[in-house]
Amino acid sequence: QASLAYAWLKIVYSNSLSEQSRCAMGISSSLNAKEGGRRVVVSGAGEDEANGLYVETVKPHDGKPQFVYAGRSRCNAPIVLWFASSGEQWNIRKDVPTISKAPRTFDGVLGVVSSTGKHWYIASRSTGADIDGSGDVPPTAGWAVSARAGERAMGEAAYGIGPAPFVKLLADGEPVPEDVIRDMEERGAKYIADGE
pLDDT in tens, 13-58: 334 444 333 333 344 456 899 999 999 999 999 999 999 999 999 9
pLDDT for position 36: 92
pLDDT at 11: 41
Tell me phi and psi for residue 28, to 5 degrees.
-75, 140
Condensed to tens digits (0 to 9), the pLDDT of residues 108-141 reads 444 444 456 789 999 999 999 999 999 999 999 9
Q: At what angle do helices 178-193 and 2-9 cross, to 10 degrees?
A: 60
pLDDT band at 160 (very low <50, low <70, confident <90, very high): confident
- Average pLDDT value for the chain: 80
pLDDT of residue 97 exceeding 70, the answer is: no
pLDDT of residue 13: 35
Cα gap 43→121, rounded to integer Å: 12
Residue 168, pLDDT > 90, answer: yes
Classify residue 168 by burial, with Cβ atoms within 10 Å: 0-12, 13-18, 19+. middle
> What's the average model confidence in pLDDT over 57-68?
94
pLDDT at 49: 95
Average pLDDT over residues 52-75: 94
Task: Please say whether the dihedral angle defined by the alpha carbons of residues 86, 89, 90 and 96, taken in this order, is positive or negative.
Answer: negative
Neighbours of 4 (CB within 10 A): 10
